[in-house]
Amino acid sequence: MDPAVLAYWPMFGLRLRTERLELRHPTDDDLLQLAELAGQGIHDPGWMPFSHPWTEIPSPRLEQQAMQHYWGVRSRWSPEDWNCMFVTIHDGEVIGTQDFFAKHFATLRGVSSGSWIGQAHHGQGFGKEQRAAVLHLSFAGLGALRADSSAREDNGPSLGVSRSLGYVEDGDYFDVISGQRVRMVRVKLTRQRWESHRTHEVEISGLEPCLELFGAADGGESDPAG
């Protein structure tokens, strides 16, 4: 990456590494690969895990809108309202995306998350591993106090990942997905439960220049790589 670009947008230098995965802030080349992966399929036809059914859009408009969405996420970033998106790399290949987002993080110290893995890579534990990586960044790197997530009640894999990482149920709400009334389950993870349920070793690099962008200039643990 050009040092001049990193000087203005240090997020491009942020890396999270687990035993099998690398998570990084996406370049346009990464976004192209991610959009093409989405076009190949994320979930079974006839079942919609997302509140907005964007995966039903036909190609190539699906890929075009995906690229527009990801560019928009980056352009709207502010320390008071940010969505940090990563592409997930396994053996040099883009296999999915993991994001986490927050409003007024400097005061509230809470984050939420969302993700997807290309259908060809399901069933290998990548979803849990990539979420463990951003939880480590949130709690150890940024000093978060709580993480939240949600999933439709019949999304067993997503809720299973949450339970295995220490989340507990925190109520529900109803949404309309593909014209149907769907119960959504909220889950939460406190810092204390995260500390007792760590499942993966995570290495963070390139975080310090990004702390101000996150509204977390004081950072988290003294050693965020452990």
130-166: per-residue pLDDT in tens? 999 999 999 999 999 999 999 999 999 899 999 999 9
Distance CA(147)–CA(135), nearest Å, equals 8
Averaged pLDDT, 196-224: 86
User: Tens digits of per-residue pLDDT, 46-71?
Assistant: 777 777 777 888 889 999 999 999 99
- Span 156-175, pLDDT tens digits: 989 999 999 999 999 999 99
Quote the Cα angle for 211-217-223, to 5°.
75
Q: Is 115 exposed, middle or buried (0-12, 13-18, 19+ CB in 10 A)?
A: buried
DSSP summary character for residue 123: T
pLDDT at residue 219 in the model = 67
pLDDT of residue 222: 42
| pLDDT at residue 224 is higher than 70 | no
Confidence band, pLDDT 50/70/90 cuts, at residue 99: very high
Q: Considering the entire predicted model, what is its pTM?
A: 0.92
Query: Is pLDDT larger for residue 66 or for residue 220?
Result: 66
Residue 126 pLDDT more than 50?
Answer: yes
What does pLDDT average to over the chain?
Answer: 92
Q: DSSP letters of 8-49? A: H-GGGG-EEE-SSEEEEPPPHHHHHHHHHHHHH-SS-TT---
Which pLDDT score, from 0 to 100, does residue 226 have? 37
Of 162, 26, 46, 163, the closest CA to residue 96 belongs to 26
CATH class of residue range 3-214: alpha beta
Owner of token pair 């399901």: 122
- Position 53 scores a pLDDT of 79
Number of continuous H segments (helices) and E segments (strands) in the chain: 8, 9
Q: What is the DSSP string of 63-119?
A: HHHHHHHHHHHHHT-BTTEEEEEEEEEETTEEEEEEEEEEESHHHH-EEEEEEEE-G
Classify burial at 102, counting beta carbons within 10 Å of its beta carbon; exposed 0-12, middle 13-18, buried 19 or more. buried
Q: Which whole number is the average pLDDT over 37-52?
A: 82
According to the model, what pLDDT value does residue 111 have? 98
Beta-bridged to residue 186, according to DSSP, are: 150
